């Protein structure tokens, strides 16, 4: 089928990033579409263009410069941008997402060239629907929305956090083939408590302290209602909200609206997959594991809840399953005698004495798996890792805090301090580590293994809710795609280059859940895997004539 040009020709065509092919417009297209003379004479293939832009990216002096170049390529030519990212996903993902996106958000005012997505400020109450109607694309299927309060592990970056929804949605397209025009990044700018930004005349957001009262809830509610009316088939992904709002909003909307929180549920999915792979390496059983989390926020509690689901699926009673999960937060071990615990932590507060430190908790509880989701770097110290290695033949050490500078320990430290026995994964990528002649490929517990596939499955099945079961099946599918060769190098996730195959398999499994549980009005097509594949956008140039 020929793509619709909406009557565009000449310079208008070159300036539409969804249609532009740059130097790849053919002779015939140049004649028919009024492009002759507007482009240099050499006609390039898309492969030649990819090689050229890849070289340009590599020649840039810093990752931030690479990010800026890639975003401007996306603004010019989306097909070429996505071809580049899809074909080189391992190299490009850290540039368009964590860790580089964190730096980009910190400097957003100086990087900002063209707006992308919708900015809805606290001053826009009463006109959110109008703003949604300003979006130029009607068939929005996936929205990523943030209020910028907890950007990666970097804290409150206010409206500068827009880099996150933009980046996440690029990953939906690159990793799962969600069509770019079906994605919508949204920033709910409710002010910021970032003191430096409030004083900075270049700050791009509303220079007011962050709204935390009823006006905040009213803005979110107006946004969600507006989306249901204007984009009724859209799924809303809540992203990088501070944890007081994240848990509340998830509770509020998950049973009423097609929505989920990737920091809580997506993280849980990818980490559970990592846990299943680690068990293949250690030949252990889930029922026999004891988990100690450093950090009891969105990521930590989300993982714990999904681990409980997984244990229950193996016939273990919920209270027994919960006692396999222990938490240390900024105030120490999470135990029932503490009076300062938020509701999401209370479900994991056990009747037990406190612990003076993480090391003391490790010695006391003897966990088999240590999972860092605290945003606090260098907290998995040498004594902590050595204690894990003394207690376990294959200590599982996941240092998931992002960006790289926040990781609880490095890959090299985990392998060195455990004498090469650790099963390690991190949130941001680490380079390979050679220890005593053996080369380890540290796995990246990257949410991108999970959320794009889940989103695609929701889109394909037109599911009206996103459930925990969907993340559970996504984790199982992801773990099943880890090969023996991956495991042999210590890698507990599939090669990122296989991400589209992974996303397609996850989408199929997620869609099946939607059909089985009656979460859609659609009937399950007979050829579901083929239907999923057919839905996936391919970043190749169409012929226009
Ligand atoms: P959050 O703010 O909800 O939770 C942070 C938790 O860490 C809180 O419970 C806090 O009490 C605890 N904490 C803070 N300082 C501590 C200390 N010194 N010792 C022990 N605990 C401490 O944040 P979150 O959403 O849970 O994210 C936490 C980290 O996990 C971030 O760095 C984030 O980037 C990372 N993360 C990684 C992935 C991934 O790798 N796939 C996914 C999501 C989040």
The tally of CA atoms less than 13 A away on the side-chain side of residue 254 is: 17
Say if residues 220 and 188 touch (Cβ distance below 8 Å): yes
Residue 2: its pLDDT value, please?
Answer: 61
* 97 is a catalytic site residue: yes
Residues 277 and 419 in one domain: yes
Beta-sheet pairing, 433-435 with 438-440: antiparallel
* Domain-ending residue, one of 218, 236, 257: 257
Half-sphere exposure of 479 (CA within 13 A, CB side): 20
Q: Domain ends where: 67, 96, 125?
A: 96
Tokens of 24: 């790849």
Q: Is the pLDDT of residue 122 over 90?
A: yes
pLDDT, tens only, 195-222: 999 999 999 999 999 999 999 999 999 9
Task: Name the residue with the closest Cα to ligand 1, atom 22.
Answer: 330
Report the pLDDT value the prediction gives residue 496, as an integer from 0 to 100.
92
DSSP secondary structure letter of residue 264 = I
293 has which bridge partners? 327, 371
- Per-residue buried b or exposed e for 446-482, using 16+ beta carbons within 10 Å of the residue's own CB: bbbbbbbbbbbbbbbbbbbbbbbbbbbbbbbbbbebb
Same domain, 174 and 273: no
Does the pLDDT at position 447 exceed 70? yes
* Secondary structure (3-state) at 146: strand
HSE-CB for 156 with a 13 A CA cutoff? 19
Q: At 223, is the pLDDT very low, low, confident or very high (cuts 50, 70, 90)?
A: very high
pLDDT at 152 exceeding the cut of 90: no
The share of the chain scoring above pLDDT 90, in percent, equals 94
Asked if the bond preceding 99 is cis, omega within 30° of 0, the reply is: yes
Q: Are 281 and 487 in contact (CB under 8 A)?
A: yes
- Are 337 and 278 in a shared domain? yes
Q: What is the pLDDT, as a whole number, of residue 17?
A: 95
How far apart are alpha carbons 263 and 246 in whole angstroms? Answer: 9
The CA distance from 383 to 60, in Å, is 40
Query: Are 284 and 419 members of one domain?
Result: yes
* Residue 435 backbone class (left: φ over 0; alpha: ψ -120 to 50; beta: rest): beta
Torsions phi, psi of 500, nearest 5? -70, -35
The answer to whether residue 102 is domain-embedded is: no
Indicate the top mutation candidate among 101, 375, 402 to test ligand 1's pocket, ranked by most ligand atoms within 8 A of CB: 375
Would residue 454 count as lying in a domain?
Answer: yes
**Rounded to the nearest whole angstrom, what is the distance from the C-alpha of residue 296 to the centroid of ligand 1?**
7
Query: Do residues 439 and 453 both lie within one domain?
Result: no
* CATH number of the domain enclosing 316: 3.40.50.720
Q: Do 465 and 485 fall into the same domain? A: yes
Same domain, 179 and 150: yes
| Structural domains of the chain, count | 4
Reply yes or no on whether 21 is catalytic. Answer: no
Ligand 1: lining residues by beta carbon, under 6 Å: 150, 152-153, 243, 263, 267, 270, 294-300, 328-330, 373-376, 400-402, 406, 427, 445-447
Are 401 and 425 spatial neighbours (Cβ–Cβ below 8 Å)?
A: no
Is 209 a domain residue? yes
Instruction: Output DSSP code: residue 35.
Output: -
Q: How far is CA 196 from CA 6, 111, 120, 157, in A?
A: 45, 17, 22, 10
DSSP-derived 3-state class of residue 239: coil
Helix/strand/coil for 329: strand
Cα distance between residue 47 and residue 465, in whole Å: 40
pLDDT for 14-54, tens place per residue? Answer: 999 999 999 999 999 999 999 999 999 999 999 999 999 99
Residue with the nearest Cα to atom 42 of ligand 1?
267
Same domain? For 187 and 213 the reply is yes
Is there a domain that residue 50 lies in? yes
**Sequence-ordered list of residues with C-beta below 8 angstroms from that of 496, at least 6 positions apart, any chain:** 89, 90, 93, 444, 446, 448
Report residue 26 as tokens: 């053919």
- The first and second tokens of residue 476, run together, are 């199982």
Residue nearest to atom 17 of ligand 1 (CA): 330
303 neighbors 268 (Cβ within 8 angstroms): yes
Across 107-246, the runs of DSSP E, i.e. the strands, are 118-121, 142-146, 183-189, 235-238
Which residues, listed in sequence order, are joined to residue 335 by a DSSP beta bridge? 350
Calpha distance 98→2 (Å, rounded): 36
Q: Which of 168, 345, 441, 476 is catalytic?
A: 168
- Is the alpha carbon torsion for 238, 239, 240, 243 positive or negative? positive
Answer whether 160's CB lies under 8 Å from 204's CB: yes
pLDDT (average), residues 54-63: 98
- In a domain, residue 249? The reply is yes
CATH number for the domain that contains residue 465: 3.40.50.10380
**Helices (DSSP H) in 358-410: which residue ranges?**
358-365, 382-391
Question: Which residue has a Cα nearest atom 23 of ligand 1?
Answer: 297
Residue 1 has pLDDT above 60, yes or no: no
Q: Are residues 285 and 423 in the same domain?
A: yes
Domain boundary among 39, 68, 96: 96
Q: Is the pLDDT of residue 59 over 70?
A: yes
Mean pLDDT, the chain, rounded, equals: 96
Question: Which residue range forms the structural domain that includes residue 283?
Answer: 265-445
Helix axes 468-480, 451-461, angle to 10 degrees: 120
Instruction: Specify the pTM.
Output: 0.95
> In terms of residues, how long is the chain?
545
Tell whether 22 and 152 lie within a shared domain. no
């Amino acid at each position: 089928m020929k793509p619709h040009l909406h009557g565009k020709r000449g310079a208008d065509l070159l300036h539409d990033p969804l249609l532009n092919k740059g130097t790849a417009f053919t002779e015939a297209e140049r004649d028919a579409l009024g492009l002759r003379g507007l482009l240099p004479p050499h006609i390039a293939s898309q492969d030649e263009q990819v090689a050229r832009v890849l070289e340009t990216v590599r020649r840039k002096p810093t990752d931030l410069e690479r990010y800026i170049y890639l975003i401007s390529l996306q603004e010019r030519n989306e097909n070429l941008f996505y071809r580049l990212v899809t074909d080189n996903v391992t190299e490009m993902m850290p540039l368009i997402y964590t860790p580089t996106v964190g730096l980009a958000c910190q400097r957003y005012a100086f990087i900002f060239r063209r707006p992308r997505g919708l900015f809805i400020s606290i001053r826009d109450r009463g006109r959110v629907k109008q703003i949604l109607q300003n979006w130029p694309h009607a068939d929005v299927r996936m929205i990523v929305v943030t209020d910028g309060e907890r950007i990666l592990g970097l804290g409150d970056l206010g409206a500068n956090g827009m880099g996150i929804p933009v980046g996440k949605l690029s990953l939906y397209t690159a990793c799962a083939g969600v069509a770019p025009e079906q994605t919508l990044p949204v920033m709910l700018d409710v002010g910021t408590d970032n003191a430096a930004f409030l004083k900075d005349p270049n700050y791009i957001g509303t220079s007011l302290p962050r709204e935390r009262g009823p006006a905040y809830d009213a803005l979110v509610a107006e946004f969600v209602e507006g989306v249901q009316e204007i984009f009724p088939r859209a799924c809303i992904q809540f992203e990088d909200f501070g944890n007081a709002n994240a848990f509340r909003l998830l509770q509020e909307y998950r049973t009423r609206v097609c929505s989920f929180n990737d920091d809580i549920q997506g993280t849980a999915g990818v980490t559970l997959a990592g846990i299943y792979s680690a068990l293949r390496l250690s030949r252990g059983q889930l029922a026999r594991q004891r988990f100690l989390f450093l950090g009891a926020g969105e990521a930590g509690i989300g993982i714990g809840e999904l681990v409980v689901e997984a244990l229950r699926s193996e016939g273990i009673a919920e209270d027994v399953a919960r006692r396999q999960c222990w938490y240390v937060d900024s105030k120490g071990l999470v135990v029932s005698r503490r009076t300062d615990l938020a509701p999401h932590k209370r479900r994991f507060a056990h009747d037990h004495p406190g612990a003076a430190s993480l090391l003391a908790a490790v010695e006391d509880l003897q966990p088999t798996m240590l999972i860092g989701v605290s945003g606090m770097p260098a907290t998995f110290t040498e004594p902590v890792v050595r204690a894990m290695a003394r207690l376990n033949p294959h200590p599982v050490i996941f240092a998931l805090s992002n960006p790289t500078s926040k990781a609880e320990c490095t890959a090299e430290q985990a392998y060195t301090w455990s004498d090469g026995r650790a099963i390690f994964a991190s949130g941001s990528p680490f380079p390979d580590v050679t220890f005593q002649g053996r080369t380890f490929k540290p796995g990246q517990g990257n949410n991108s293994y999970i959320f794009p596939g889940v989103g695609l499955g929701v889109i394909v099945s037109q599911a009206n809710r996103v459930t925990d079961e969907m993340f559970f099946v996504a984790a199982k599918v992801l773990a099943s795609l880890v090969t023996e060769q991956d495991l042999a190098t210590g890698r507990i996730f599939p090669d990122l280059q296989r991400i589209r195959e992974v996303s397609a398999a996850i989408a199929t499994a997620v869609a099946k859940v939607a059909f089985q549980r009656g979460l859609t009005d659609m009937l399950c097509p007979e050829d579901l895997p083929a239907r999923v594949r057919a839905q996936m956008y391919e970043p190749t140039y169409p012929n226009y004539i």
